[in-house]
């Protein structure tokens, strides 16, 4: 099911009574979610992710704008008539019901021609339980399940009516690290197998990048960028997006352009086709640093952390905007742990230049 969000805006009265201005939780959001894709809605806490999801679900009404599922205008439909499956951070299972009963629950209030017999309901519950690999646990109560299993029951319950759109709001936040990884792979597999158009809300960039076909990065209610995860990582449209994606994070420096050369502090780093500019922000991804004895970027070596496959070199530079610069290099490199200085050359496709005032990316050729 294709989902179209058209100029979607949601304003709330300010919670702080002294401030008269409304909070614009979602600001003019337009996007067409292609049929069968998994879209990751990503951004820091308070940026409007849940509000967007609740607008799609119908739990909230937009202040302006429209929502279409396929050709149906669902803007004024209540949630129960939209054909959605919802999963939240807290699994919200019925504690006194078994796994089977929890999964069957949404089927029990089907009416008219959709009404199912008990056998049909049990059959459907079993099919979905198999999909989420819970079929051996049908008679347990929620308190006899791990967090990951409970969340799978919640997912099964959201899927049992075969929704047109599946909506997940931070579904992995209550799970420990290992379960989080496992469950996100599970969600990805279930989504692929069912082909249900899915919106997955998270503040965790790693999660969004690994699970999504398309990510939407939001800040203060405004969409910053939409694209395939790799495309957004490689070509962030602004400094906010560049900083939000990637672990370890991108290192930011204050630079300048003089006579076709990019300077970071006093270091003459590379040639660039941008007119002279007194101040730019320069971002370098951790994998963009190449250890080189006569490399142009001279940094003060802080420490070297061995991580097995890779080495993380932590250093400092007077033009860096953060106290530490993190570079990831292959452990095949020999690093002199005792040296006070370390020099790098930079991979041109890992170096990004931003307007120092607006934060917008300046696209250019680097050499
Ligand atoms: P996120 O899910 O990205 O953390 P939300 O969508 O929950 O963000 O919230 C976006 C903004 O809208 C925040 O500033 C939040 O305080 C505000 N907000 C959300 N719900 C309400 C509400 N019911 N009343 C007033 N403000 C709200
Ligand atoms: Mg939220």
| Ligand 1 atom 27, closest CA | 12
DSSP 202-217: ES-HHHHHHH-SEEEE
With respect to residue 213, please indicate whether it lies within any of the assigned structural domains.
Answer: yes
With respect to residue 261, please indicate whether it lies within any of the assigned structural domains.
Answer: yes
With respect to residue 38, please indicate whether it lies within any of the assigned structural domains.
Answer: yes
- Domain that includes residue 64, residue range: 3-243
218 and 314 co-located in one domain: no
Domain count for the chain:
2
Ligand 1 within 6 A of 46 CB?
Answer: yes
70 and 108 co-located in one domain: yes
With respect to residue 367, please indicate whether it lies within any of the assigned structural domains.
Answer: no
Q: What is the pLDDT of residue 55?
A: 98
Q: What is the 3-state secondary structure (H, E, C) of 124-146?
A: HHHHHHHHCCCHHHCCCCHHHCC
With respect to residue 117, please indicate whether it lies within any of the assigned structural domains.
Answer: yes
192 and 314 co-located in one domain: no
Q: How far apart are CA 323 and CA 78, in angstroms?
A: 51
With respect to residue 172, please indicate whether it lies within any of the assigned structural domains.
Answer: yes
| Ligand 1 atom 13, closest CA | 46
Do the Cβ atoms of 223 and 230 come closer than 8 Å? no
Return the closest-CA partner of residue 284 out of 336, 350, 232, 221: 350
Q: What is the pLDDT of residue 219?
A: 98
* Residue 169 CA, ligand 2 centroid: distance in Å: 7
| Ligand 1 atom 21, closest CA | 12
| Ligand 1 atom 15, closest CA | 46
Place of tokens 């959709």: 114
Q: What is the CATH number of the domain that holds 227?
A: 3.40.50.300
* Residue 183 CA, ligand 2 centroid: distance in Å: 19
| Ligand 1 atom 26, closest CA | 12
With respect to residue 149, please indicate whether it lies within any of the assigned structural domains.
Answer: yes
Q: Which of 21, 22, 23, 173 to mutate to test the pocket of ligand 1 (most atoms within 8 A of CB)?
A: 23
Return the closest-CA partner of residue 161 out of 106, 224, 210, 233: 106
The answer to whether the predicted template modeling score (pTM) of the entire model surpasses 0.85 is: yes
82 and 220 co-located in one domain: yes
Q: What is the pLDDT of residue 309?
A: 85
Q: How far apart are CA 52 and CA 59, in angstroms?
A: 10
- The per-residue pLDDT string of the chain (367 residues; one tens digit each, 9 = 90 and over) reads 999 999 999 999 988 878 889 999 999 999 999 999 999 999 999 999 999 999 999 999 999 999 999 999 999 999 999 999 999 988 789 999 999 999 999 999 888 888 899 999 999 999 999 988 898 999 999 999 998 899 899 999 999 989 999 999 999 988 888 888 988 998 999 999 999 999 999 999 999 999 999 999 999 999 999 999 999 999 999 999 999 999 999 999 999 999 999 999 999 999 999 999 999 999 999 999 999 999 999 999 999 998 888 999 999 999 999 999 999 998 888 778 788 999 999 999 999 999 999 999 999 999 8
User: Ligand 1, closest atom to CA 201?
Assistant: 2
Q: Which of 13, 25, 42, 88 to mutate to test the pocket of ligand 1 (most atoms within 8 A of CB)?
A: 25
Last residue of a domain, one of 243, 271, 286: 243
233 and 317 co-located in one domain: no
60 and 177 co-located in one domain: yes
Q: What is the pLDDT of residue 170?
A: 95
Q: What is the pLDDT of residue 14?
A: 86
Return the closest-CA partner of residue 265 out of 255, 257, 275, 279: 255
Q: Beta strand 84-87 with 165-169: parallel, antiparallel or unpaired?
A: parallel
Last residue of a domain, one of 198, 216, 243: 243
User: Ligand 1, closest atom to CA 47?
Assistant: 3
67 and 197 co-located in one domain: yes
**H or E, element range at 279:** strand 277-284
215 and 304 co-located in one domain: no
With respect to residue 311, please indicate whether it lies within any of the assigned structural domains.
Answer: yes
256 and 321 co-located in one domain: yes
Q: How far apart are CA 178 and CA 321, in angstroms?
A: 33
252 and 239 co-located in one domain: no
28 and 9 co-located in one domain: yes
Q: What is the pLDDT of residue 307?
A: 81
Ligand 1 within 6 A of 12 CB?
Answer: yes
- Please return the burial class of 159, using the count of CB atoms within 10 Å of its CB with bins 0-12, 13-18 and 19+: buried
Last residue of a domain, one of 227, 243, 259: 243
* Residue 51 CA, ligand 2 centroid: distance in Å: 7
187 and 261 co-located in one domain: no
């Amino acid at each position: 099911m294709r989902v179209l969000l058209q100029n979607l805006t949601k304003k709330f009265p300010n919670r702080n009574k002294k401030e008269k201005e409304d909070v614009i939780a979602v600001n003019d959001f337009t996007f067409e979610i292609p049929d069968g894709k998994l879209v990751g809605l990503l951004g820091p806490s308070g940026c409007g992710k849940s509000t967007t999801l609740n607008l799609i679900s119908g739990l909230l009404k937009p202040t302006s704008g429209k929502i279409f599922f396929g050709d149906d205008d669902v803007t004024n439909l209540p949630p129960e008539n939209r054909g959605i499956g919802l999963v939240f951070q807290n699994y919200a299972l019925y504690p006194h019901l078994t796994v089977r009963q929890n999964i069957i629950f949404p089927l029990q209030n089907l009416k008219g021609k959709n009404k199912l017999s008990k056998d049909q309901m049990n059959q459907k519950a079993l099919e979905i339980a198999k999909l989420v690999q819970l079929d051996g646990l049908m008679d347990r109560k929620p308190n006899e399940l791990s967090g990951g299993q409970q969340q799978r029951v919640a997912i099964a319950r959201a899927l049992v009516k075969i929704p047109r759109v599946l909506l997940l709001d931070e579904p992995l936040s209550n799970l420990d690290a290992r379960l989080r990884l496992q469950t996100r792979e599970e969600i990805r597999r279930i989504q692929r197998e069912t082909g249900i158009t899915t919106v997955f809300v998270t503040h965790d960039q790693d999660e969004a990048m690994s699970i999504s076909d398309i990510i939407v990065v939001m800040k203060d209610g405004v969409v910053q960028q939409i694209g395939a995860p790799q495309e957004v990582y490689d070509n962030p449209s602004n400094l906010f997006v560049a900083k939000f994606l990637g672990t370890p994070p991108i290192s930011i420096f204050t630079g300048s352009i003089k006579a076709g050369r990019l300077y970071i502090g006093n270091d003459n780093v590379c040639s660039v086709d941008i007119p002279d500019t007194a101040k730019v922000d320069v971002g370098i991804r951790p994998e963009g640093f190449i250890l080189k004895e006569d490399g142009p970027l001279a940094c003060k070596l802080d420490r070297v952390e061995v991580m097995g496959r890779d080495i993380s070199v932590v250093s400092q530079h007077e033009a860096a905007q953060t106290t530490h610069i993190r570079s990831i290099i292959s452990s095949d490199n020999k690093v002199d742990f005792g040296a006070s200085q370390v020099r790098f050359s930079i991979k041109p496709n890992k170096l990004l230049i931003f307007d120092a005032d607006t934060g917008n990316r300046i696209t250019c050729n680097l050499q």
